[in-house]
Structure 1
Amino acid sequence: MSSSNGGKKPGEATGGGFFASLTSSLSNFGSSMHNSVNSFMGYEGLEVVNPEGGQDDVQEEVHKGRWQKEDRDSYWRMMQKYIGSDITSMVTLPVIIFEPMTVLQRMAELMEYSYLLDLADECEDPYLKMVYASSWAISIYSAYQRTWNPFNPILGETYEMVNHGGITFIAEQVCHHPPMSSAFAENEHFTYTITSKVKTKFLGNSVDIYPLGRTRVVLKKSGDVLDLVPPPTKVHNLIFGRTWIDSPGEMLMTNQTTGDKVVLYFQPCGLFGTGRYEVDGYVYDSQEEPKLLITGKWSKSLSYQPCDTEGEPLTGTDLKEVWKVADFPKNDKYQHTHFAHKIKSFDTAPKKLLASDSRLRPDRYALEIGDLTKAGAEKNNLEERQRTEKKCREAKSEQFTPKWFTRTGEVSATPWGDLEVYEYNGKYSDHRASIDSSNIDDVEDPKSIQFNPWQYGNI
């Protein structure tokens, strides 16, 4: 391992020339796709290989994916004009590529291994504390490797979660253009806040996703404030071939209180899957000397080991596992984890669920029960109602104001652009405490609640 402050450095790209030559040799690729590929091959090579397969898989992988040929070719013709653009809120996506979850619910998935933050809060060793905290930040990638698209939240939509690790979690869609979400979570060990926004670059058959969000964790025992900068993500084979996801680059977690930091390098996937999932790096003290090395695979487990000032493992020490991924359900259509199923269910919902909650979205629920036609119609209906609400609001010369989060005026600089920061305003805690202390049994079936995130006018 390298002992530089940035951990391992990215290697040279290994796939462009291979994929460029590969596409020219696929004789049965289909004339429609062949013509489309030729129109942008100078921009980026078309990637059609299963990252975990061998060269024999190439012909098979070309024809896999979730698209019907007619839908795929039509969508490809429409999308070509967006090559090189940020498509965050520009394109309406077909429901066939969605999973029955929203972005807000996906944000809550980061809480699956929240026990790691509990351990970080209880830990007296400042460097092991950073191992626990950074392992928590990496753990979500084991779930995010699934390739289905979550529903974009409606402005004012929320998601609530209780009954997990003593956590109360609330997320809200705070802005529609550009799409921005905020979330807050708390238990006896930590508070967690995030303002989430992404920037994208569409590259034809792939898209680069840059996280402009700010993630902050405060450990209650020590008062340490931890900030996180995740690596960018690349989604391969959006239209042609089997879709897969990679997140090559550096993750940085900084203890703003002590100056300690963790720098972890996510290895890019090479030819035939070499290096896939691998992550390694170091915990550095405030003087930027390595103290502990961290290594593993974000899809399976992470371990740590004491190291010398050169970053080499100390003699007489062993790797110790700090995190291991939980078992996944077998043959799950959307590759959802057991925890993802809990998030979708009402088992993790609080008493008197907000009518704006993601669980209540009719398009999401229709997709969950397998009715794609109804899911598509309900999705279009919600998007049209959102446009109507916007017109109503503008007619009154009013601006949307989130209920549970407040725009601070602070602008946070990220490696990929500036971010307008929203902070939790504490009102949800008061709201929930009032309901929980009311001593009124919640006899209402939450499934009977009509989804209603709207704040302006009768639409």
Structure 2
Amino acid sequence: MASNEPKQGGGFFASIASGLSTFGSAMTKSVNGLLGYEGLEVINPEGGTEDAEEEAKKGRWKQEDRDGYWKMMQNYIGSDVQSMVTLPVLICEPSTNLQRMAELMEYSNLLDLADKCEDPYMRLVYSSSWAISIYYAYKRAWKPFNPILGETYELVNHGGITFIAEQVSHHPPMCAGHAENEHFTYDVTSKLRTKFLGNSIDIYPVGRTRVTLKRDGVVLELVPPPTKVNNLIFGRTWIDSPGEMIMTNLNTGDKAVLYFQPCGWFGSGRYEVDGYVYNADEEPKILMTGKWNESMNYQPCDLDGEPLPGTELKEVWRVADAPKNDKHQYTYFAHKLNSFDTAPKKLLSSDSRLRPDRCALETGDLSKAGSEKTRLEERQRTEKRTREAKGDKFTPKWFDFTDEVAPTPWGELEVYKYNGKYAEHRAALDSSNSDEESSNAKSTEFNPWQYGDLAAE
């Protein structure tokens, strides 16, 4: 059952600091002396403490690949991984960060329910469960491709939603997204801050996510917990997100505060989420408990956080069935995001589906995926040099840079705002007489470029 920890544990920053401290010390055993790498730790997600050498031999890397990659990457310990040398395609999955952003739409029906709901606290139950649902996808240990500047992703044919995302900045890497149906609008500006720790990466979501429920104009703002990717090179790669998630109703001050338990000894607490929906006076109204890889449940509670007599724990969300033994641990919805069935007609040529490196990796051609990834990154650098030489500035098509700077727990964020031009673009195409369908886009060349044909230098 849920505890009062989210309310009494010292607040957002204290719980994160405590969680990361616990996480960093629990379940670890140095393999220095076993493998010969100074300071390297291998964490077993199942909680074993006597099997560091055995755990180190597991994972996606061959021994010779692990050795070479470790020698290359150890020089970057403490750095932001996004500023490091080009990462090998071997650690990637055949999708992009823009598509990862779209994965949050899989359970968008929860936002539809929040919009239809008249109970302000149940609105937060539905909306916070929606925010938790993405973590099942985030447990995948593969890295999505970083989008090219100007790259986009479009999604239709799902819950009446129109979704558009765009890479709006290269340094620092930033993307913006907008989704809308008859019940809600979703707007996000995302910038990640990372810290490479050798065999792991800490990821801090310096972003702003807002959902507007259309019926009453309720605006909800999300602050997610940080994430840690463990055993990048040695051992079984796995992900944890210890800390607090906060979903706030900006109209009323009501909020859901949900604590993601850090993985403890022998795997205890892994995946567990507990917390409350509070009113503006910080009085608990509904307790929530569950696992982010399975389901979430709720129950009305008293001012002490105890379940009200005569009430029962009810399920609000459960993860959908997923393919078994999928190579990249994709859900059925993640596979849809790579399909042209979820694409509109006359797909933008800058769409992630068209990336040649992503397509090659999807078919298992690692050599071609690696060479195409390098080619795209070189072309991006060439464009940057050309842009600087011309004194030009990159301007996104579907989002506008604003003067607003949003504070986050991990740094300030420059906010991009959806400009409405994509809706106009789609409306014009839908009203045209063209019979060209999205399937024809398969032969379209990927083209996010600002300039014409520039040879990579």
Q: What TM-score, normalized to structure 1?
A: 0.93
1:412 aligns with 2:406: yes
Which residue identity does 2:31 align to in structure 1? T
User: Is the contact made by 1:233 and 1:246 (CA closer than 8 Å) also made in structure 2?
Assistant: yes
1:456 paired residue number: 451
Of residues 144, 151, 176, the one that matches 1:150 is 144
> Structure 1 residues 21 and 446 mapped into 2: Cα distance closer, same or farther (>3 Å)?
closer
User: Is the contact made by 1:8 and 1:281 (CA closer than 8 Å) also made in structure 2?
Assistant: no
Aligned pairs for 1:116-155 (under 5 A) are: 116-155=110-149
1:62 deviates by: 1.5
Q: Following the alignment from structure 1 to structure 2, what is the Cα–Cα distance between the partners of residues 297 and 7?
A: 21
Q: Following the alignment from structure 2 to structure 1, what is the Cα–Cα distance between the partners of residues 354 and 28?
A: 45
Aligned pairs for 1:161-176 (under 5 A) are: 161-176=155-170
1:438 paired residue number: 432
Aligned pairs for 1:313-352 (under 5 A) are: 313-352=307-346
1:307 paired residue number: 301
Of residues 280, 284, 297, the one that matches 1:286 is 280
> Structure 1 residues 8 and 292 mapped into 2: Cα distance closer, same or farther (>3 Å)?
farther
- Secondary structure of 1:445 counterpart: helix
- Which whole-Å deviations, capped at 9, do the CAs of 1:207-257 have from their partners, x for residues lacking one? 110000000000000100000000000010111111100000000110001
Aligned pairs for 1:3-402 (under 5 A) are: 3=4, 6=7, 10=15, 13-14=21-22, 21-23=29-31, 29-30=34-35, 34=36, 36=37, 38=38, 41=39, 46-49=41-44, 51-52=45-46, 54=48, 58-402=52-396
What 5-or-longer segments of structure 2 have no aligned partner?
none
User: Is the contact made by 2:166 and 2:176 (CA closer than 8 Å) also made in structure 1?
Assistant: yes
Q: Please give the root-mean-square deviation of Cα atoms over the aligned residues, in Å.
A: 1.7
1:66 deviates by: 1.1
1:70 deviates by: 2.0
Which residue identity does 1:274 align to in structure 2? S
- Secondary structure of 1:373 counterpart: helix
- Secondary structure of 1:212 counterpart: strand
1:83 deviates by: 1.5
User: Is the contact made by 1:406 and 1:423 (CA closer than 8 Å) also made in structure 2?
Assistant: yes
Q: Following the alignment from structure 1 to structure 2, what is the Cα–Cα distance between the partners of residues 63 and 47?
A: 10
> Structure 1 residues 56 and 47 mapped into 2: Cα distance closer, same or farther (>3 Å)?
closer
Q: Following the alignment from structure 1 to structure 2, what is the Cα–Cα distance between the partners of residues 47 and 360?
A: 37
> Structure 1 residues 21 and 455 mapped into 2: Cα distance closer, same or farther (>3 Å)?
closer
User: Is the contact made by 2:255 and 2:278 (CA closer than 8 Å) also made in structure 1?
Assistant: yes
Q: Following the alignment from structure 1 to structure 2, what is the Cα–Cα distance between the partners of residues 172 and 321?
A: 35
User: Is the contact made by 2:227 and 2:241 (CA closer than 8 Å) also made in structure 1?
Assistant: yes
State the identity as a percent: 69
Q: Following the alignment from structure 1 to structure 2, what is the Cα–Cα distance between the partners of residues 278 and 19?
A: 17
Q: Following the alignment from structure 1 to structure 2, what is the Cα–Cα distance between the partners of residues 143 and 7?
A: 30
Which residue identity does 1:316 align to in structure 2? G
Q: Following the alignment from structure 2 to structure 1, what is the Cα–Cα distance between the partners of residues 254 and 5?
A: 15
1:428 aligns with 2:422: yes
1:69 deviates by: 1.9
Q: Following the alignment from structure 1 to structure 2, what is the Cα–Cα distance between the partners of residues 233 and 423?
A: 26
Which residue identity does 2:238 align to in structure 1? W
- Secondary structure of 1:210 counterpart: strand
Q: Following the alignment from structure 1 to structure 2, what is the Cα–Cα distance between the partners of residues 299 and 99?
A: 20
Which residue identity does 1:142 align to in structure 2? Y
Q: Following the alignment from structure 2 to structure 1, what is the Cα–Cα distance between the partners of residues 23 and 262?
A: 10
Q: Following the alignment from structure 2 to structure 1, what is the Cα–Cα distance between the partners of residues 251 and 26?
A: 46
User: Is the contact made by 1:8 and 1:265 (CA closer than 8 Å) also made in structure 2?
Assistant: no
> Structure 1 residues 4 and 327 mapped into 2: Cα distance closer, same or farther (>3 Å)?
closer
User: Is the contact made by 1:2 and 1:310 (CA closer than 8 Å) also made in structure 2?
Assistant: no
Q: Following the alignment from structure 1 to structure 2, what is the Cα–Cα distance between the partners of residues 7 and 264?
A: 12
1:59 deviates by: 4.1
Which residue identity does 2:381 align to in structure 1? R
Which deviates more, 262-271 or 82-91? 82-91
1:203 deviates by: 1.4
1:68 deviates by: 2.1
2:397 paired residue number: 403
- Secondary structure of 1:453 counterpart: coil
> Structure 1 residues 14 and 421 mapped into 2: Cα distance closer, same or farther (>3 Å)?
closer
1:20 deviates by: 5.8
1:23 deviates by: 2.5
- Which whole-Å deviations, capped at 9, do the CAs of 1:188-212 have from their partners, x for residues lacking one? 0000000000111111211110000
What 5-or-longer segments of structure 1 have no aligned partner?
none
- Secondary structure of 1:88 counterpart: helix
User: Is the contact made by 1:2 and 1:8 (CA closer than 8 Å) also made in structure 2?
Assistant: no
User: Is the contact made by 2:405 and 2:413 (CA closer than 8 Å) also made in structure 1?
Assistant: yes
User: Is the contact made by 1:3 and 1:309 (CA closer than 8 Å) also made in structure 2?
Assistant: no
- Secondary structure of 2:449 counterpart: coil
Which residue identity does 1:448 align to in structure 2? S
1:416 deviates by: 0.4
Q: Following the alignment from structure 1 to structure 2, what is the Cα–Cα distance between the partners of residues 447 and 97?
A: 25
1:457 deviates by: 3.7
> Structure 1 residues 110 and 272 mapped into 2: Cα distance closer, same or farther (>3 Å)?
same
- Which whole-Å deviations, capped at 9, do the CAs of 1:353-388 have from their partners, x for residues lacking one? 000000000000000000000000000000001011
